[in-house]
Amino acid sequence: MLIPKTGEYKMKKITGTLMLLIATALLAMPTATIAQDDAELREIIEAIRIGWLEADGTPFREHFLDFEGARYFEGGGQNEGLTDLIEHHVEPEADAFEDFSLVFSNIEVNIEYGFAWVLVDTEIKATVKRDGRVIDNKGRATYLFRNVDGEWKVVHTNSASRPVNKARAKH
């Protein structure tokens, strides 16, 4: 049976099509946002890696949330607050190391409701200027992020590594 194409029929068809388009757009939006957030978090992690390599606190000041009580852990030690991390850890490494390399690999980004955590494998190689000791370590790091006013900010870090070849390591 053919239904005449009345104004009411056309309106229902248009309304149905619009509802379908809106539903599709709403379902696709979280995926697009997650992909965008994933890319942004990976860019931040790379900026932090470069900051370590260049002993430059700028990416830390830009991407870390500076708040009272902030603590950053590395190899069993800690820095209390962003200024402590930058002035007593990041920046002094330029004078402490020769041939410093830092590789982040196997980067895994996890995002949930304005919170994210990024897991990375690390490889650190350097020669200590003071005594010529060679560092050749592999390890892992975790970066915790919070979305603050539309920007991802690091709120905590934890990293640890150990010598690749224990026979070469001097403690």
Q: Does residue 159 fall inside a structural domain? A: yes
Instruction: Tell me the C-alpha distance between 46 and 100, whole Å.
Output: 16
Examine the pLDDT at 110 and tell me if it is beyond 80: yes
Q: Is residue 46 part of a domain?
A: yes
User: What is the dihedral sign for C-alpha 107, 162, 102, 74?
Assistant: positive
Q: What is the pLDDT of residues 11-66, one digit of tens each?
A: 667 776 766 656 555 554 455 588 899 999 999 999 999 999 999 999 999 999 99
CATH number at residue 134: 3.10.450.50
> Does residue 170 form part of some domain?
no
- Please give the pLDDT value at position 15: 73
Question: Is residue 141 situated within a structural domain?
Answer: yes
Domain membership flag for residue 1? no
Average predicted confidence (pLDDT) for the chain: 87
Q: Over range 107-127, report the average pLDDT.
A: 96
The answer to whether residue 168 is domain-embedded is: no
Q: Which domain holds residue 27?
A: 7-163
Is 171 a domain residue?
no
> Number of folded domains in the chain?
1
Q: In terms of pTM, does the model score above 0.85?
A: no
Please report whether residue 2 resides in a domain: no
DSSP per residue over 19-66, as a string? HHHHHHHHHHHHHHHHHHHHHHHHHHHHHHHHHHHTT--HHHHHHB--
